[in-house]
Structure 1
Amino acid sequence: MSFAITSAAGVARLAPISRRATSTGFLLLALSASPMITPTLASRTAGVHPQRMPLSSTQPTCPLNRDTSPATVGLRSFHSTSHNWRSTPQFTYHVAASYSAKQDRFNAEQNLYTRPVHDASRSNFEDARECKESIDKRRRARSGQDAFFFSQVGNTNTTTFGVADGVGGWVESGLDPADFSHGLCEYMACAARSWPYGFNKTSLHPKDLLQAAYDEVTVDSSIEGGGSTACLAVAEPNGHVEVANLGDSGFMHLGRNAVRHFTQPQTHAFNTPYQLSKTPQRMLVQMAVFGGPSTLSDLPKESSVTHHKVRHGDVLVFATDGVWDNLSPQDALGIVSDHMVDVGAWVERDGTLEVGQDLAELVQAGSTRKADSSSLQAKVAIAIAKEAKETGLNTRRDGPFAKEVQRYYPGENWHGGKPDDIAVVIAVVLEDGPQRAKL
């Protein structure tokens, strides 16, 4: 969760910011927001969770949390309208998501989403707004303020997926932070589904998708205000994956017991990530009358963009800070590797790891129905969410967030995990080829 700085009645207030997602047909899910921490809190007591720190000229910043994500020089064109390149390998992405609201017990069976069977022939929605309006808000995942989404892009074989983390501090302004993050993910899924309608480009990039969704959220009268981080990808069947990250949700690219990439969070200061936001009209009027600092708000164009080339058997991990504040990249790699090796998705031969021959079966690629809880991607998603949940509630095991607090604010005496909403999306990469012949 993060802070938006606002002013009312001449008094500057700190409105924290949190995150969430939903699921309908082609998926949309919402989850919960992170707690905040104040520098005056000397210890944590039962039932009281520290809050994120506001921006202030007197607060030290955390240089390690600034955006240092390497971005490939130059932009590659993603031609989502044509994928018949027989000379290059073709890939599919097998997606599952697991989540848990901060206040709820973790339920592996109920808090699980697995992608529907890909249907490139399905007709497009003609309008993203019409698509969004067809979504029943009551069917959103019970996931707090975090959110996630998955959708194919138009009638192509390109897919897009990601997470958003609603800014919980907006509760102090009488808003439900989940509306913003859920709405953002719903609009991203709807815009992708209706592509190329509404886009004036021949290719879809994640930053453009985020911009389109943000534009819709800002004019949607059903979303009064709020804020969110976001991390999303557009994954092409030729193995090119483009990722846009804004804030402190994040992405890992794993391949055969190796971390190929891990995003660094974008922050303005310690525990104050970049974030999209929408300020209610009533608050804008108060600011105009009484003055004071304005709401903290960044734009989609400020996202950190990276390009990746995936291989058969790679695993992509997208998660909100409810995961990354409690699990290090090494922790996540260990969880993924254990499951991949245990089921034979990664196999050790002559001292090296290779992709197992049964990967297509493990991700249930040949099924005529959507993958279930026994699929590899579901098991990995559940394992990461479960470990993050348990670590967040463990007062003896210091996670990455605790270590950062100890480094920059040693007087806080912070130990243990950080209870928060959790959302994790897993995509297992499968190359089409001989291994699919028997399915």
Structure 2
Amino acid sequence: MRAAFSRHAKCLPKSHVSHGIRSFSTGPRPYKIHMGVSYAGKPPFEDEADMSRSFPNEHPIAKWRDRLLKWPKGLPTTGAGQDFFYVQNMKNDSGISFGVADGVGGWGPIFDPSLFSQAIMYHASRVAAQRWAGEPETDPIADGGDMALVDVGTQTTPEECMQLAYRGVLREKFVDGGASTATIMQINSKSGLLQAANLGDSGFSIFRSSSLYYSQAPQTHYFNCPRQLAKYPAKSRWSRDIIADFPEHAATYSTRLRHGDVVIAFTDGLSDNVWPSELLQCVTHVLRSNVPEARQAQDLADICVHLAMQSMHRYDKVSPFEMESQRSRFRHYGGKVDDVTVIVALISEII
């Protein structure tokens, strides 16, 4: 289990392929963004057996969560464990916003980490739905072909989205406490501009022309203790020991995407078990398949999660987590059993 306190230290089987795919065509824009999502929660440890305290069925977050968990993925897994995610069309079909979060353990049995990760993703999704994906300030694809002004006041960036979502969690009465990493990204469907904000050891990679174009470095305080957004009750005895980071500590990144680029956002259940070179092999394999691009995006998400699930139970393979543990003078061998969530965005240019 990862620390929340400063005092602690093969390809997817054909039978698993789903026929449900999702492609987000964001209106009459130059880019179409094909999205794939897959996830798998780890079996609960004995000390976590009594931790689960889900949102009530009538709670807005519970209804939203259950809708997202019906995403037509190809793996026969149910919940996302302490991870969660969102995929949201932005205002005026200006782009796509998406993100992943990983609830941080170490808070004891009274705080379920999944509540925080679900809440931060829910509020990020709400913010993104009401916001413009950024530039431009005018829309040349308006009725009549005129340059119609866009509502500049509703533009946002991923770091601003993270700030507003974090405030939403702090106001959320059902979330008494907890912590989570957060990765929030958005892609402008007209310009191809990708913007990202990453806090913690979740992250993302961009693949271009059969090579790894960019990989977001994880943010940690020390081994197995990521940077984390946190909430704790007032007058808590933990207030002096808690590690609490803030949205302004997030690493930001932006770049222009182009046709054929693949963006993979993930929690550390993937990056702790799968090497970037293995991810590249998965990307290359899927992009060579003779299926529609929307199907490729979903197949790639499923294959990444499947590979992580296989790797975390292997002891004959040196994992990224094992390598990092040795650098930190810890002894860990093989993969790391964890929840894993993957979002894939495949970019195609509209001709």
Tell whether the structures are fold-level matches, with TM greater than 0.5. yes
**Matched residue SS, 1:420:** coil
1:204·1:234 contact (CA, 8 Å) conserved in 2? no
The answer to whether structure 1 residue 309 and structure 2 residue 256 are counterparts is: yes
Amino acid at match of 1:269: Y
1:253·1:260 contact (CA, 8 Å) conserved in 2? yes
Normalising by the residue count of structure 1, what TM-score does the alignment of the two structures yield?
A: 0.63
Could you tell me which runs of 5 or more consecutive residues in structure 1 were left unpaired when the two chains were aligned.
7-12, 17-26, 28-82, 105-130, 345-360, 365-374, 434-439
1:136, distance to aligned residue in structure 2 (A): 5.4
Partner of 1:243: 196
1:194, distance to aligned residue in structure 2 (A): 2.6
Distance change in 2, residues 1:304/1:137 (3 Å): closer
1:164·1:320 contact (CA, 8 Å) conserved in 2? yes
Distance change in 2, residues 1:132/1:215 (3 Å): farther
The answer to whether structure 1 residue 135 and structure 2 residue 88 are counterparts is: no
1:423, distance to aligned residue in structure 2 (A): 0.2
Partner of 2:48: none
Distance change in 2, residues 1:224/1:244 (3 Å): same
1:392, distance to aligned residue in structure 2 (A): 0.4
Q: How many residues align?
A: 295
Q: Could you give the per-residue CA deviations for residues 94-149 of structure 1, whole angstroms, max 9, x where no partner exists?
A: 11111101118xxxxxxxxxxxxxxxxxxxxxxxxxx9468355556411001111
**Matched residue SS, 2:92:** coil
Pick aligned residue for 2:241 from 294, 300, 313 = 294
Q: Could you give the per-residue CA deviations for residues 57-101 of structure 1, whole angstroms, max 9, x where no partner exists?
A: xxxxxxxxxxxxxxxxxxxxxxxxxx98xxxx8112111111101
Partner of 1:145: 82
Q: Percent identity?
A: 30
1:408, distance to aligned residue in structure 2 (A): 2.5
Counterpart Cα distance in 2 of 1:254 and 1:3: 31
Q: Could you give the per-residue CA deviations for residues 214-272 of structure 1, whole angstroms, max 9, x where no partner exists?
A: 10000110111111001121100111100111110011000121111001111111221
Counterpart Cα distance in 2 of 1:137 and 1:161: 14
Distance change in 2, residues 1:92/1:268 (3 Å): same
Q: Superposed, which structure 2 residues align to 1:263-342 within 5 Å?
A: 263-281=216-234, 284-286=235-237, 293-341=240-288
The answer to whether structure 1 residue 98 and structure 2 residue 28 are counterparts is: no
Distance change in 2, residues 1:169/1:287 (3 Å): closer
**Matched residue SS, 1:312:** coil
The answer to whether structure 1 residue 362 and structure 2 residue 292 are counterparts is: yes
Partner of 1:420: 338
Following TM superposition, where does structure 1 have runs of at least 4 consecutive aligned residues deviating by more than 6 angstroms? none
Amino acid at match of 1:182: Q
Counterpart Cα distance in 2 of 1:3 and 1:325: 16
Q: Superposed, which structure 2 residues align to 1:144-163 within 5 Å?
A: 144-163=81-100
Pick aligned residue for 2:106 from 169, 175, 195 = 169
**Which protein shows a greater Rg?**
1
1:399, distance to aligned residue in structure 2 (A): 0.6
Counterpart Cα distance in 1 of 2:82 and 2:265: 16
Counterpart Cα distance in 1 of 2:303 and 2:83: 18
Amino acid at match of 1:181: S
1:132·1:190 contact (CA, 8 Å) conserved in 2? no
Partner of 1:119: none
Counterpart Cα distance in 1 of 2:124 and 2:40: 21
Counterpart Cα distance in 1 of 2:221 and 2:65: 32
Distance change in 2, residues 1:232/1:333 (3 Å): same
The two structures, once aligned, show a CA RMSD in angstroms of 2.7
Partner of 1:227: 179
Distance change in 2, residues 1:333/1:215 (3 Å): same
Q: Could you give the per-residue CA deviations for residues 328-368 of structure 1, whole angstroms, max 9, x where no partner exists?
A: 11111111111212x15xxxxxxxxxxxxxxxx7124xxxx
Could you tell me which runs of 5 or more consecutive residues in structure 2 were left unpaired when the two chains were aligned.
10-21, 45-58, 70-78, 133-150
Amino acid at match of 1:103: P
Counterpart Cα distance in 2 of 1:138 and 1:236: 27
Counterpart Cα distance in 2 of 1:200 and 1:225: 35
Distance change in 2, residues 1:340/1:287 (3 Å): closer
Amino acid at match of 2:158: P
Counterpart Cα distance in 2 of 1:136 and 1:192: 14
Counterpart Cα distance in 1 of 2:152 and 2:248: 17
Q: Superposed, which structure 2 residues align to 1:369-384 within 5 Å?
A: 375-384=295-304
Distance change in 2, residues 1:225/1:91 (3 Å): same
Distance change in 2, residues 1:137/1:256 (3 Å): closer
Q: Could you give the per-residue CA deviations for residues 357-382 of structure 1, whole angstroms, max 9, x where no partner exists?
A: xxxx7124xxxxxxxxxx11111001
Counterpart Cα distance in 2 of 1:140 and 1:152: 14
Amino acid at match of 1:177: P
1:285, distance to aligned residue in structure 2 (A): 3.7
1:392·1:417 contact (CA, 8 Å) conserved in 2? yes
Normalising by the residue count of structure 2, what TM-score does the alignment of the two structures yield?
A: 0.77
Counterpart Cα distance in 1 of 2:160 and 2:2: 24
2:94·2:188 contact (CA, 8 Å) conserved in 1? yes
**Matched residue SS, 1:261:** strand
